[in-house]
């Protein structure tokens, strides 16, 4: 538990240092100008790839039965500009995560990314469950 907290603290400090240019403060940048919602960001900085910033967010689903999906975007200039978002993980019809994939939490260990997220099988959007998936390269494996 302590190692998880220390890892989280390190990531927060490291993210802030990179976004601040390592020696100042930043007023921040707007990533989304409005419209569809994006919340619950999970941010990783890849120090092996020139501090590429990866970000996953929860956002509006693509269909009437998909309430939420997890989208991915990245920045190679300390967060000033971002790639267009793309769907990284979406609900699977008829499965335990039928209605949503939301609230991402992503970590990287060696070459694997691990994501935890919430969903529900309940059409009333109650009784959420926690799910787990892995990725190497671009394909999530549930």
Q: Residue 17 has what pLDDT?
A: 53
- Please state, in angstroms and rounded to a whole number, the distance separating the CA atoms of residues 133 and 141: 5
- Please state, in angstroms and rounded to a whole number, the distance separating the CA atoms of residues 8 and 14: 10
Return the residue matching tokens 């209605």: 99
Q: What HEC string does the chain produce?
A: CHHHHHHHHHHHHHHHHHHCCCCCCCCCCCCCCCCCCEEEEEEEEEHHHCCEEEEEEEEECCCCCCCEEEEEEEECCCCCCCCCCEEEECCCCCCCCCCECEEEEEEEECCEEEEEEEECCCCCCCCCEEEEEEEECCEEEC
CB 69 within 8 A of CB 60: yes
Span between the terminal Cα atoms of the chain, in Å: 24
Q: Residue 20 has what pLDDT?
A: 52
Digitized pLDDT (tens) for each residue of the chain, 142 residues in all: 454 444 444 554 555 555 555 445 566 667 766 667 888 899 988 877 778 899 999 988 877 778 889 999 889 988 888 888 888 888 888 888 888 889 999 988 887 889 999 988 777 777 888 988 887 655 554 4
Q: Residue 140 has what pLDDT?
A: 54
Domain boundaries, the chain: 36-141
pTM, rounded to two decimals: 0.72
Superfamily of domain 36-141: Glycosyl hydrolase domain; family 43 (2.115.10.20)
Q: Which residues pair with 136 in a beta bridge?
A: 139
- Please state, in angstroms and rounded to a whole number, the distance separating the CA atoms of residues 122 and 91: 13
């Amino acid at each position: 538990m302590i190692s998880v907290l220390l890892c989280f603290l390190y990531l927060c400090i490291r993210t802030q240092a990179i976004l601040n240019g390592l020696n100042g403060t930043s007023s921040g940048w707007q990533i989304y100008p409005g419209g569809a919602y994006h919340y619950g960001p999970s941010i990783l900085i890849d120090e092996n790839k020139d501090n590429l910033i990866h970000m996953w967010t929860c956002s509006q689903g693509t269909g009437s039965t998909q309430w939420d999906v997890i989208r991915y975007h990245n920045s190679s200039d300390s967060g000033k500009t971002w790639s267009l978002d793309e769907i990284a993980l979406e609900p699977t019809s008829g499965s335990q995560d039928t209605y949503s994939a939301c609230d991402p939490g992503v970590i990287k260990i060696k070459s694997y990314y691990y994501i935890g997220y919430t969903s529900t099988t309940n059409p009333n959007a109650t009784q959420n469950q926690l799910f787990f998936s892995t990725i190497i390269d671009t394909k999530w494996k549930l």
